[in-house]
Structure 1
Amino acid sequence: MAQQTKHSMVKEKIKEWITSGVVKPGDKIYSENELVKMFNVSRHTVRLAVGDLVHEGWLHREQGAGTFCSNRLIESKVQNKKTAANSKNIGVITTYISDYIFPFIIRGLESYLADQGYSLTLAATNNDIEKEKQCLQNMLSRNIDGLIVEPTKSSNFNPNVNYYLELEQKNIPYLMINQYYPQLHPPYIIVNDEQGGFIATDHLIKLGHEKIVGIFKTDDLQGVYRMQGFIRSFRENNIPFFPEMILTYSTEDKEGLQEKVKNFLLASKNKPSGIICYNDQLALLVLNVLRDLKIRVPEDISIVGYDDSYLAEASEVKLTSIKHPKIDMGIAAAKWIIAAIENRNEEDAHPKSIVYEPELVIRNSTSSLKIAEPNAKHSIENKQVPR
């Protein structure tokens, strides 16, 4: 995450005061001297931050009186109330809007919400906690009826919990998809990723592989749970681990990940015959590394991806992968949030959480050690195997 400047820190804090109601429309904010002392910054930094907020309409200046929270927020709320009957809006916050999975989830959301007279307001965090905070502030200021969220760095404590609690105080339903923040115990729609990691690994073990490497992203719970399933599969099959069996990475490692994987494979004393990947994007990156190292797939190494995205069939090697419900998840999320909105004043307003059980889609990136020949034919291509 890029380091936050002093100017943006002051600006975002004042916005937080406004969106949370600490400073209300018409209230006078602290003087320059008070803000300088409060934030331990220069007068120039304070003037830049306040100037930006005046320009953006959050604040206004009155000659000789000071700086005040703008009444535009009141006008906006009045206008929102006038149009509420005709404008029903669902906020959607994801990590990456252009991600290879999320466009399909959006397609499912839109297909159902449009029929029910709802519109979508989209925002992306780029898996950055500070950007998630800004997204939540903007959603709260837009008078949304409900919110669907894909958590940011879900395996870590989330410092934006207070915004979700504010949603609850305002009786605005929210739903988390793909993962959730455990400290909130929110409603969610997810895939059983621990089981997905298990059946991916079990597939290779049943094909005779024992030296299997797992590569997992660990600042999101999906990767943590997939790694748990990976480890459980070894235990249940009574196969010992070898020392280099797991490679982990985080969002910030993305730029140098290909080199990291290459160095990992070159340095490995126990050369693997199989690799379990956090997702299909990572699997394609691993395929590129193996191609550079003149290692054949599946003749020398078998690979399993995750999500069964369009990328699973994008290269010359078609990936065995764990299926993600994608469009079905989007439709289910849309139905859930509408039911929660329309029944919000009832005693048991929220529908139940949903957990999808994973399926393995087998293609030609995996093969048995016994039949791994250069020209081997695979009769199991594109067959779906349930949990």
Structure 2
Amino acid sequence: MQTKYNRVKQAIKSKILDGTFRPHQKIGSENDLMKQFDVSRHTVRLAVGELVSQGWLYKEQGAGTFCADRSTVQKGIDQGSSKNIAIITTYISNYIFPSIIRGAESYLSNQNFHVTLLSTNNNHMNEKHFLERIISQNFDGVIIEPTRSAVSNPNINYYLNLERLGIPYLMINAYYEELEPLYIAMDDEKGGFMQTDHLLKAGHRNIGGFFKTDDLQGIKRMKGYVKAHRANKVPMEPNNIITYNTEEKRTKPLEELKRLLSSSSSMPTGIVCYNDELVVRLLDVLRERDLQIPSDLSIVGFDDSFLARASEVKLTTIKHPKSKLGETAGKLMLDMIKRSSGTQRNKMPELEPIIFEPELVERNSTRPLNNSILNKVSK
């Protein structure tokens, strides 16, 4: 359990790291802090005293306690010698993330940079802790995959403080629209369009779409799904669009697929999925219903992960650049670091986001739809 003094200390430190307290700005008086945290004067003095001794605050006799300017301290100690870059992704050890990380880490290591890998597990609090670490320690830059990029982010102040401190950050796979950052990503909207258009062109008219909508990728892929129907002048069945968030990803899609399959009159003939990982989960439901891919149902994934080839069903899917995206991120990050420290940075052309074009990889999980009616119904 966190002690009272440590709670006060961490709260003040967080306000420094997110830019609420700026260098040389006076923090609240002892009485203010006592009221704010409902603690004793001794607890406040203990917390403030430790922050002073660690260089986060300084005192001026008769004037109060102020936020220290740590940027000048760090530059004086480590100017140009750190060569540390953080890579923060939502996940590290599963799905396509090892390939992305390997691409970036390999390139940066060859350029003699030390790489620190961190995973948020798509959790905003974890993201906050890592951003505090980036700001408080000696990192030259950070490559980050945003946490729940489609929803309001409580950590925006930390990114603004990174900008104020001159610490370059680059976003991958998605981005926070309110920040308009430099980013590298897939054209997810076009990818979602290609998934759906592939099935529509094959004669499918009743197509289910499963999209994770607390990430920007899922929102854009769903937009592509909608656009493909409109481009092909095919009406959409609203109940065919299934959305879910991070907490629901292991349960809701499976429940919703069972619901779609329970209607023999409007059972979908095709499904497009947020990613290959979801396809593999849905295959378990289809096996339970004794439905065969693609004779009874066509299905399209996204990312062309190892899962697209690992199961008995070889997936038609959208190709993700994976390690190429990681390597490109490493190169762009080094360019950003050079620009942030170079004397000619104001004369250099602005860097632009890099967007990879999607590519449909056709395998055997889809087929053209003939005029026969599916003879298998839910059991």
- Please state which band the TM-score falls in when normalised by the shorter chain: 0.7 to 0.9
Out of 11-20 and 267-276, give the one that drifted further.
11-20
For 1:84-103, list aligned pairs within 5 A: 84-103=79-98
Give the secondary-structure state (helix, strand or coil) at the position aligned to 1:260: helix
Matched residue count: 358
- Provide the residue aligned with 1:192 in structure 2: 187
Out of 185-194 and 257-266, give the one that drifted further.
257-266
Deviation, 1:35, is: 3.7
Give the secondary-structure state (helix, strand or coil) at the position aligned to 2:151: coil
The AA in structure 2 aligned to 1:240 is P
Structure 1 portions without partners, runs of 5+: 61-67, 375-387
RMSD: 3.7
Q: Which one of the candidate residues 207, 210, 213 is aligned to 1:215?
A: 210
| Per-residue Cα deviation, 1:310-339 (whole angstroms, up to 9, x for no partner) | 011111111111000011111111111111
- Provide the residue aligned with 1:63 in structure 2: none
Deviation, 1:366, is: 0.8
**Inter-partner Cα distance in structure 1 for 2:369 and 2:282:** 20
- Provide the residue aligned with 2:367 in structure 1: 367
Go from structure 1 to structure 2 and tell me whether the alpha carbon gap of 1:273 and 1:341 turns closer, same or farther (over 3 Å shift). Answer: same
Q: Which one of the candidate residues 164, 168, 185 is aligned to 2:159?
A: 164
Q: Is the 8 A contact 2:173 2:186 kept in 1?
A: yes
2:282 matched to 1:286?
yes
Deviation, 1:115, is: 1.7
| Per-residue Cα deviation, 1:267-323 (whole angstroms, up to 9, x for no partner) | 456100000000011010111111112111111111101000001111111111100
Give the secondary-structure state (helix, strand or coil) at the position aligned to 2:184: strand
**Inter-partner Cα distance in structure 2 for 1:257 and 1:249:** 7
TM-score, normalising length from structure 1?
Answer: 0.81
TM-score, normalising length from structure 2?
Answer: 0.82
Greater relative contact order (Cα 8 A, min sep 6): structure 1 or 2?
2
Q: Is the 8 A contact 2:303 2:319 kept in 1?
A: yes
2:296 matched to 1:300?
yes
Give the secondary-structure state (helix, strand or coil) at the position aligned to 1:123: strand
Go from structure 1 to structure 2 and tell me whether the alpha carbon gap of 1:238 and 1:308 turns closer, same or farther (over 3 Å shift). Answer: same
Structure 2 portions without partners, runs of 5+: 58-64, 375-379
Go from structure 1 to structure 2 and tell me whether the alpha carbon gap of 1:306 and 1:259 turns closer, same or farther (over 3 Å shift). Answer: closer
- Provide the residue aligned with 1:329 in structure 2: 325
- Provide the residue aligned with 1:382 in structure 2: none
Q: Kindly, what percent of the aligned residue pairs are identical? A: 47
Q: Is the 8 A contact 1:323 1:361 kept in 2?
A: yes
Q: Is the 8 A contact 2:90 2:121 kept in 1?
A: yes
Q: Which one of the candidate residues 303, 306, 313 is aligned to 1:310?
A: 306
- Provide the residue aligned with 1:229 in structure 2: 224
- Provide the residue aligned with 2:12 in structure 1: 14
**Inter-partner Cα distance in structure 1 for 2:242 and 2:4:** 36
- Provide the residue aligned with 1:379 in structure 2: none
| Per-residue Cα deviation, 1:52-104 (whole angstroms, up to 9, x for no partner) | x88xx7999xxxxxxx9999x97x98677545544301121111112312211
